[in-house]
Amino acid sequence: MVKSSVKNQVFPTNGEVVQTYDALNPERIGERIDAADSAYADWRSVTMDERGAYLQEAAAILERNKERYSGLMALEMGKPIRDGRAEIEKCALLCRHVAESAAEMLAPEIVPTDARKSFVAFQPLGVVFGVMPWNYPFWQVFRFAAPSLMAGNAVLLKHASNVPGCSLAIEALMHDAGFPPTLFQSLLVSSEQVQAVIDHPSVKAVALTGSKAAGQAVAAHAGRRIKKTVLELGGSDPYLILEDADLDLAVDACAAGRLLNSGQSCIAAKRLIVAAVVKEDFEQRLMKKIKSVKMGDPFDEATEIGPLARNDLRDILHRQVRKSIEHGARCLLGGEVPDGKGYFYPPTLLTDVRPGMPAFDEETFGPVASVISATDEQDAILLANNTNFGLGAAVFTRDIKRGEHIAAEELEAGNCFVNAFVKSDPRLPFGGIKGSGYGRELSHYGIKSFVNIKTVYVA
């Protein structure tokens, strides 16, 4: 039968096609899901120790092949090679943490009642379907897959169409680690075929990391089938730099938080809300910091900013920058598409950004930092919360109690940091609110996202 090809694998550094992959024949999708369900029937009875041993081996394989995997990410989506190495190392750390902690996190919880015995048990659901993005091609997959497998589920992966090599590499890695071949499968299917996978009765839940539009479509379809979803969507993270902030610390954190992964991160530092009395000083320091960042070939060890993953993403980002300037923002640095091959966009600093501008209202997925002036603390908090997103937020102040109060009580986001840029940690839950999604990944909250939380009552 004729197969339709998925999107060509394109090297973002020069725009050239590297390889073309064939999509999974639609008639085979059901067969793959049935095979995953059969594998799950056996896997759910495998001991935690045995599951953990496979995951520990996956961590070892990740570390042994770190150079190959980081090179694959550089090739497919332009990630600087040193960022790729860090991503692989974090995946290995996650695998080990989950392997060592899952038994405790999923241990039955005794609840005293008037029964002879009552407790909460945690049992797997079945086949979990993951729809994953390209910006962290390994981390995003392991973040949902490792806990799901340790909980006793089977996993199907639909990765972004521009990282098919990463998708297949992860599948091979998991099989080499000892997981049954049909327990973890990479499905090279199109976005249009996602609904068919969700429709299959053996698919019990869906995890999606991606855009708000993708989340809405998947959640609506899964909801009609009464299937659980966990959504991690976009963000427009505010960073509050108060009048008493350590500006050197704040600048370093904001630059790192904005430019990491070439700015292509849901939890990047996108809206820098600065107390008016320190705004000019902060801007000058940040501009100096950003100017020193090296943009170039992702395979170059010195490169800190690579190309954006696709040309259409660069076009969208540039339109957001130009439209914000048309509405009154000032561009202090960057803001122009460079000549030459590849999907590069320079580190860009906008100031005088206000609500109503794309740089304030929308998610800017690239190395564009937006400075917003705040009159005082309450104004900064109001500006921070004036968004449809709610993924991450940070506050910078020398008064730790003040910062902790703002982070814990005032900011509307799922991950709030004090004097540090927002990042995920296997030990802490990760997820958002509002337009940034719902549900949690990582920690004991994440591993319980795809289990049956069962009450057992013995009279």
**Locate tokens 């070939």: which residue?**
297
Whether 452 maps to a domain, the answer reads: yes
3-state SS, residue 188? coil
Show Cβ contacts of residue 6 under 8 Å, excluding neighbours closer than 6 positions. 20, 21, 22, 23, 161, 164, 188, 190
Whether residue 195 is found in the same domain as residue 82: yes
**Residue 2 has what pLDDT?**
36
- Contact in structure between 257 and 420 (CB atoms under 8 Å): no
Q: Which domain holds residue 260?
A: 238-418
- The CATH number of whichever domain residue 273 belongs to comes to 3.40.309.10
Number of structural domains found in the chain: 2
Phi–psi pair at 77, nearest 5 degrees: -130, 10
Show Cβ contacts of residue 105 under 8 Å, excluding neighbours closer than 6 positions. 443, 444, 447, 448
Whether residue 281 is found in the same domain as residue 395: yes
Cα 448 from Cα 151, distance rounded (Å)? 8
- The CATH number of whichever domain residue 134 belongs to comes to 3.40.605.10
Torsion (CA) 405, 408, 413, 416 in degrees, nearest 10? 80
Whether 1 maps to a domain, the answer reads: no
Whether residue 343 is found in the same domain as residue 438: no
**Residue 19 has what pLDDT?**
87
Among the listed residues 95, 166, 266, 416, the single catalytic one is 266
**Residue 84 has what pLDDT?**
98
Whether residue 414 is found in the same domain as residue 440: no
Q: Which of 353, 408, 343 is nearest to 381 (CA)?
A: 408
Give catalytic status of residue 232 as yes or no.
Answer: yes
Whether 3 maps to a domain, the answer reads: no
The residue ranges of DSSP E strands in 192-270, in sequence order, are 203-209, 228-232, 238-241
Show Cβ contacts of residue 438 under 8 Å, excluding neighbours closer than 6 positions. 230, 231, 431, 432
How many angstroms from the chain centroid is the CA of residue 394?
17
Whether residue 43 is found in the same domain as residue 189: yes
Whether 249 maps to a domain, the answer reads: yes
With the C-alpha atoms ordered 113, 118, 122, 123, is the resulting torsion angle positive or negative?
negative
**Residue 452 has what pLDDT?**
98
Whether residue 39 is found in the same domain as residue 178: yes
Cα 325 from Cα 436, distance rounded (Å)? 26
Whether 343 maps to a domain, the answer reads: yes
Whether residue 252 is found in the same domain as residue 313: yes
Whether 426 maps to a domain, the answer reads: no
pLDDT, averaged in runs of 10, over the chain (459 residues):
56 90 89 98 98 98 98 97 98 98 98 98 98 98 98 98 96 98 96 94 98 96 98 97 98 98 97 98 98 97 97 98 98 97 97 98 98 98 98 98 98 98 97 98 98 98
Give catalytic status of residue 67 as yes or no.
Answer: no
Is the pTM for the entire model greater than 0.75?
yes
Among the listed residues 76, 232, 304, 410, the single catalytic one is 232
- 215-226 b/e with 16+ CB inside 10 Å = b? bebbbebbeeee
Angle at 403 between CA 401 and CA 407, to 5 degrees: 115
Whether residue 152 is found in the same domain as residue 14: yes
With the C-alpha atoms ordered 29, 34, 39, 41, is the resulting torsion angle positive or negative?
positive
3-state SS, residue 273? strand
- Contact in structure between 361 and 367 (CB atoms under 8 Å): no
| Sequence-ordered alpha helix ranges (H) in 292-429 | 311-326, 358-361, 377-385, 400-405
Whether residue 270 is found in the same domain as residue 406: yes
Whether residue 220 is found in the same domain as residue 247: no
Whether 424 maps to a domain, the answer reads: no
Whether residue 93 is found in the same domain as residue 168: yes
Cα 43 from Cα 318, distance rounded (Å)? 48
**Residue 107 has what pLDDT?**
98
| Sequence-ordered alpha helix ranges (H) in 120-211 | 139-150, 164-176, 194-199
Q: Which of 252, 263, 257, 262 is nearest to 285 (CA)?
A: 252
Q: Which of 1, 22, 95 is nearest to 442 (CA)?
A: 95
Q: Which amino acid is at 67?
A: E
| 274, β-bridge pairs | 241, 373
Whether residue 243 is found in the same domain as residue 210: no
Write out pLDDT tens, residues 392-404: 999 999 999 999 9
Whether 427 maps to a domain, the answer reads: no
